[in-house]
Amino acid sequence: MSNVPNTEHDREEMLKRIGVASFEDLIQCIPESIRLKKELNLPRPLSEPELSRLLTELSSQNKNTSQVISFLGGGAYDHFIPAVVDHIISRSEYYTAYTPYQAEVSQGTLQTVYEFQSLICELTGMDVANASMYDGATAVAEAALLAHGQTQREQVLVAGSLNPSYKEVLSTYCGSIRLKVKTLPSIDGLVDLEAVKKSISEKVACVILQSPNFFGLIENIEDIEPMAHSVGALLVLVCDPISLGILKPPGEYNADIAVGEGQALGNNLSFGGPYFGYFASKRNLVRRMPGRIVGATTDTQGRRGFVLTLQTREQHIRREKATSNICTNQALCALASCVYLSLLGKSGIKKVAELCLHKSHYAFDEITKMEGFKKRFDAPFFKEFVVQTPIPPKRIIGSLMKRNLFAGTDLSQFDRKLKNCLLMCVTEKRTEEEIDYLVDELRKLV
């Protein structure tokens, strides 16, 4: 039986029960000037087949990477995902699993999370990893909060070459606790080392550096690491996990915290999410790490088992002792990355990284051979690069969309100094024919 009042008598009775004479008494706090004075302009109700048809029409307006050749980057990447990844994570015991509160009935989930943590530690060269974060942006923000809690300092230095979306999330987190965020300027796409020297002090909780950075460039981590540690600040490195197949991992740079977006590890683009953030650190920071950590143990009979070892969310412990209250892990996405990394292994992840490197440099060389297209930065890059274009990138992007090409990202939306600059990405999925097709279509435009 419905509980919705469907007669005038029912409505009157309901109002009487809650102690008011009329509906208007419930909205006295809303100014008269902004109240709706007419009926809502809602469309007529639809039957199920009509609704299905409408939603199909709306969704078909999107274009995805099965229809379009993508050279988009900037934090979300079109990598190849083996079919077995989706097959495994679609099993009901994984697909419907929730937080493993009861270890005795959650051994499968706990073991997959434990394996994920182990793989992230191997990939990053760090001591410990948690059971993942919402995404790369929140992982960066949580790293800043950890550094603040560990050092009791009130300032964060962040590279200007960090992903702009990450900087916005970082500022939102830090603003709520009055943790000051200072942006370090960039020169030729890389952090200005002189600016780091001038800004570093014993007031700084951490230095946040992304490499490869938002422009795809490899930062001078070796120069910045000693500057940060000389004043007792923590070093936070933000890394594309695929790049770690061939680049030195954060642990070898003596980073205190390693974070990043894990979407590239076996997760579909999915029009922007859900994704997951990886979070790893040195052992001495483990008790300040947000979220959960799964550990291996033995039961009373000596059998191997898995448990939630550390749980620093406010729903698990007293709120004043919690490291974070919004750090739910994206377990299904993390499981996909676990399957992906297990399939590829060390040699596979290295091969994917090498293909990204070689194909992106081939594309860069071919594009910059054309008249009017110039390289914007001189530093080495991994799989993303920036080119100066002879016509506005917005025009290029719009024109090539009609040719079933996602050309890249217009950087002027982030920085006016980067007018006529196009950020492009080439993953292992792109073929020589697809790259040549892109080059030919660019040539036709100019």
Tens-digit pLDDT profile for residues 258-279: 999 999 999 999 989 899 999 9
The answer for residues whose C-beta is within 8 angstroms of residue 409's C-beta and 6 or more apart is 72, 73, 74, 393, 422, 423, 424
pLDDT of residue 101: 73
* Residue-wise burial string across 161-180, b where 16 or more C-beta atoms lie within 10 A, e elsewhere: bbbebbbebbbebbeeeebe
Helix, coil or strand: residue 5: coil
Task: Tell me how far apart the alpha carbons of residues 383 and 404 are, in angstroms, rounded to a whole number.
Answer: 21
Does domain 69-78+345-445 bear CATH number 3.40.190.10? no
pTM comes to 0.88
Which phi and psi (to 5°) does residue 52 adopt?
Answer: -60, -40
Q: If DSSP codes are grouped into helix, strand and coil, which group holds residue 375?
A: strand
Q: From first to last of its 446 residues, what are the pLDDT tens digits of the chain?
A: 445 555 778 888 889 899 998 888 889 899 999 998 888 889 899 999 999 999 999 999 988 898 999 999 999 999 999 999 999 999 988 887 777 777 777 888 899 999 999 999 999 999 999 988 999 999 999 999 999 999 999 999 999 999 999 999 999 999 988 899 999 999 999 999 999 999 999 999 999 999 999 999 999 999 999 999 999 999 999 999 999 999 999 999 999 999 999 999 999 999 898 999 999 999 999 999 988 889 999 988 999 999 888 876 555 556 666 666 555 557 899 999 999 999 999 999 999 999 999 999 999 999 999 999 999 999 999 999 999 999 999 999 999 999 999 999 999 999 999 999 999 999 999 999 999 999 999 999 98
Q: What is the pLDDT of residue 10?
A: 84
Domain regions of the chain by residue span: 69-78+345-445, 83-341
For the domain covering 83-341, report its CATH number: 3.40.640.10
Predicted pLDDT at 329: 57
The three state secondary structure string of 55-76 is HHHHHCCCCCCCCCEECCCCCC
What's the confidence (pLDDT) of residue 129? 96
Q: What is the pLDDT of residue 1?
A: 43
* Chain centroid, CA 309 distance in Å: 25
Residue 427 backbone dihedrals phi, psi, to 5 degrees: -100, 180
